[in-house]
Structure 1
Amino acid sequence: MIYLLESKLPENKSIYFALQYIYGIGKTRAFLICKKLGFSINLKVKHLSENQTVQILSLINSLNFVLAHDLKKLKIGLTKKLVSIKSYRGLRRTRGLPVRGQRTHTNARTARRIKNKFYVY
C-alpha cells in the first residue's frame, strides 16, 4: 500500500484512478499528472517503483496544487468567512438551509445534514 499526501492508494487500481483517492485530485488533474510523467493510464500502483513515486510527489509539489489537509482547511475557512460577514450564503449555512437557491418545501435534507459538520458555535 502506497501513501501519498495522507491518502492510501489501492495497489490493484491503475494510477489514473488511484490518484483520484487524494483529496483535491480529480480526473483532469490525474490525467495531467500521468501525461506529464509519461505513465500509461493503465499502469498499476503495485508496479510503481520508488523513483516513480518520488517523481509523482515532486511533480505535484512543482504544480502548486492545494491538496488534502490544506484544501480542507481552505474550504472550511471560506465557509467560516461567509458566516462571519453574515452574507446570505453564510446565513443559509448557519440555518441549515440550501445555499444555492434550491427549494425548501421538500428535498432540503442534505443541507440540514451538513449543517453541523463545519461549524462550531
Structure 2
Amino acid sequence: MVRLVGVDLPRNKRVAYALTYIHGIGLTSAKKIVEMADIDPETRSDNLTTEETVALRQTLENIDLKLEGDLRRFNGLNIKRLNEINCHRGKRHRNSLPVRGQRTRTNARSRRGAKKTVTGKKK
C-alpha cells in the first residue's frame, strides 16, 4: 500500500485515479502529476515500484497545489472569516443553509439534513 501526503492510496486502481483520493487533487491534475513523474498511466497503485513512489512524492512536493491538511485549514479559515464579519454567506454557513443562492423551499436536503416533521395546528 502506497502512502502519499498522509493518505493511503487504494489498491488495484490506476495511479491517476488513486491520486484523486488525496484532498485537493482532481482527475486532471492527477493525470498531469503522473505525466510529470514519468510514470506509465496504465500502472496500478499496488504495482508501483519504490522509484516511482519516490518520484510521485517529489512531484507532489514541488507542485504548486495546497493538499490535504493545508487545503482543509485554508478553507476552514475562509469560512471562519465569513462568519466573523457577519456577511450573508457567513450567516448561511452558520445556519447550514445553501450558500450560493439555491432555493430552499424544496430540495437542499443534502445541506439541511434529514426532514424534521412539524405537527399541524388544530383548528
- Compute the TM-score of the two structures, normalised by the length of structure 1: 0.86
Task: Give deviations 1:37-70, integer Å, cap 9, x for gaps.
Answer: 2222211112211111111111111113110111
CA distance in 2, matches of 1:71, 1:63: 14
Q: Percent same amino acid at aligned positions?
A: 36
Correspondence for 1:5: 5
Structure 1 stretch displaced more, 65-74 or 32-41: 32-41
Correspondence for 1:53: 53
> What is the 5 A alignment of 1:1-121?
1-113=1-113
The unaligned stretches of length 5 or more in structure 1 are 114-121
Q: How many residues align?
A: 113
The structure having more radius of gyration, on CA atoms, is 2
CA distance in 1, matches of 2:101, 2:29: 30
Displacement after TM superposition at 1:109 (Å): 2.0
Report SS of the residue matched to 2:102. Answer: coil
The runs of at least 4 consecutive aligned structure 1 residues that moved more than 3 Å come to none
CA distance in 2, matches of 1:91, 1:59: 39
Query: Between Structure 1 and Structure 2, which shows a larger proportion of helix residues?
Result: 1
CA distance in 1, matches of 2:2, 2:70: 20
Displacement after TM superposition at 1:108 (Å): 2.4
Report SS of the residue matched to 1:110. Answer: helix
8 A Cα contact 2:18 2:45, kept in partner: yes
CA distance in 2, matches of 1:19, 1:108: 30
Displacement after TM superposition at 1:82 (Å): 0.5
Counterpart code for 2:35: K
Correspondence for 2:116: none
- Compute the TM-score of the two structures, normalised by the length of structure 2: 0.85
CA distance in 1, matches of 2:20, 2:111: 25
CA distance in 1, matches of 2:16, 2:32: 10
The unaligned stretches of length 5 or more in structure 2 are 114-123
